Amino acid sequence: MKIGFDHNKYLEEQSKYILERVNNFDKLYIEFGGKLIGDLHAKRVLPGFDENAKIKVLSHIKEKVEVVICVYAGDIERNKVRGDLGITYDMEVMRLIDDLRGYNLDVNSVVITRYEDQPAATIFINKLERRGIKVYRHRSTKGYPTDVDTIVSEEGFGANPYIETKKPIVVVTAPGPNSGKLGTCLSQLYHESRLGKTAGYSKYETFPVWNLPLKHPVNIAYEAATVDLKDVNMIDSFHLEKYGETTVNYNRDIELFPVLKKIIEKITNKESMFQSPTDMGVNRVGFGIIDDDVVRDASYQEIIRRYFKTLCEYKKGTLDKDAVSRIKLIMEELELKPEDRKVVTIARKYGEDKDPNCVLCERNAVALELENGKVITGKFSELMNGSAAAILNAIKELAEIQDDIHLISPVVLEPIINLKRNILNSRNIALNAEEVLMALSISAVTNPLAQYALRRLEGLKGCQAHSTVILSKNDEQVFRKLGIDVTCEPEFQSTNLYEG
């Protein structure tokens, strides 16, 4: 993989910049946008970027940092799911706490925002508190976000309980967007001011990159990733007017800035040090780019991946037509085609070869591109699905094992198939990717070739794949865990509404 980003340079610069910002205050509240851990989007568009860069930045200064996690009560109530992991927001909060503790970071508490006694949110609060996690309940702030006088009063922020913190840097993060991070930060600024402390606010948002051009592919890739939120990158007019410097931000921050500035000034009773949304940011990711051509090419590929993802989500009913129209417009503006993703054409062509004895075979083909550029294919059969076949064929290629050599013994496969067919009564008997890898692991106990092939799984990290049908959630997660970037045609594998 060609490298376009210097992670170590970024780590050093970002840590230094955050510490410089906190020197202006007794306490600094930093709103963390995007994913704190596992930022795969940034990793894909900035080759060389560590997906856990943000958490590693915090680890560098962990003695000064504690973390507050916000989650919107309504998202818990409707079981909102984090798309890339397939888990609900309440489960993601608990996973995030475990991960933060794994980096020896102090988790202060969880804030349930816009809490209106929702039953599911109340149960979640009970779960956390009974595991020793401090929980704060913040109800909807009266007057928020436009009635500044009401917001900055005992009726507004004053009605929220004060979150007691000890360290100079308080990171406010969340499992997803619109979780109430900004409101929580401002509420804390209000309470800190009433206690006679000087507290500040900053925002750590990786994208859009403020010091890249508006139409740079990295920034356009951010728009492609947020078509569901309808985010649009814009020139920060406040920054341009004040400093004569062209910087980039997105529409929601720019639209909210005048009100946000007034709120901060009313809380502190003095003019804000921030004259623009860009001023509020502490993002130094743009300074880590060392090869612009590499990140441009990577961003183009990410936009194509987002194109397929958007079409699939629309097919599944989770996105509206506007999102599809927006991603198609982005593709047209950049003159990109789905076929510019190498594995797409190969998967489609391979899927055209029909097996008259297998109804689903022609609909489930997968192409997987290895790091050396060679593309391996797999197709649905009565034994295994296309994802499983492609992964198995790929590791055989990496292990230089002949295609006609069977790695998994029938003695292992037959009990699994029998279990699915006769005991679990599964409609789809063909083994999925996880089941095939489990079977391979069992075979590896007695088969040295299977053991050797299994070790080659690490060689699939960073590979590209494309499926001619929408993958099951299970197969999708296997690709993710293996580090394979997979896309799918917006077609269901069968006419069944439930694949049990």
CA-based torsion, 93, 97, 100, 102: positive or negative: negative
- Residue at 315: amino acid letter: K
Cβ count near 260 (within 10 Å): 20
Backbone angles phi, psi at 30, to 5 degrees: -110, 120
The one-character DSSP state at 404 is T
Inter-residue contact 73 to 93 (CB < 8 Å) = no
Q: Which two three-digit tokens encode residue 77?
A: 């109530």
The model's pLDDT over 207-220, given as tens digits with 9 standing for 90+, comes to: 999 999 999 999 99
Q: How confident is the model at residue 411 (pLDDT cuts 50, 70, 90)?
A: confident
Please give the average per-residue pLDDT across 398-408, as a whole number: 91
Per-residue confidence (pLDDT) for residue 213, from 0 to 100: 97
Lowest mean pLDDT across 40-44, 244-248, 338-342, 427-431: 427-431
Nearest to 331 by CA among 489, 217, 231, 487: 217
Calpha distance 432→426 (Å, rounded): 12
Calpha distance 460→390 (Å, rounded): 11
Q: Which two three-digit tokens encode residue 304?
A: 């194509």
| Largest Cα–Cα separation, the chain | 78
Inter-residue contact 99 to 123 (CB < 8 Å) = no
Lowest mean pLDDT across 164-178, 252-266, 410-424, 457-471: 410-424
Backbone angles phi, psi at 232, to 5 degrees: -130, 130
Nearest to 466 by CA among 489, 433, 492, 436: 489
Calpha distance 498→422 (Å, rounded): 19
Q: Is it the case that residue 362 has pLDDT exceeding 70?
A: no
Inter-residue contact 201 to 22 (CB < 8 Å) = no
Which structural domains are found in the chain, ordered by start?
7-206+253-268 (3.10.630.10), 341-488 (3.40.140.40)
Nearest to 496 by CA among 418, 430, 422, 428: 428
How confident is the prediction for the chain on average, in pLDDT?
93
Per-residue confidence (pLDDT) for residue 359, from 0 to 100: 53
Calpha distance 81→122 (Å, rounded): 18
Q: Is it the case that residue 75 has pLDDT exceeding 80?
A: yes
The model's pLDDT over 248-289, given as tens digits with 9 standing for 90+, comes to: 999 999 999 999 999 999 999 999 889 999 999 999 999 999
Q: Is it the case that residue 62 has pLDDT exceeding 80?
A: yes
Calpha distance 496→500 (Å, rounded): 9
Calpha distance 198→178 (Å, rounded): 27
More confident residue, 24 or 308: 308
The one-character DSSP state at 339 is G
pTM: 0.91
For residue 17, the SS3 value is helix
Q: Which two three-digit tokens encode residue 110?
A: 């969880």
Calpha distance 386→152 (Å, rounded): 58
For residue 324, the SS3 value is helix
First to last CA, the chain: 39
Q: Which two three-digit tokens encode residue 258?
A: 């005048």
Lowest mean pLDDT across 33-42, 64-73, 175-184, 285-294: 33-42
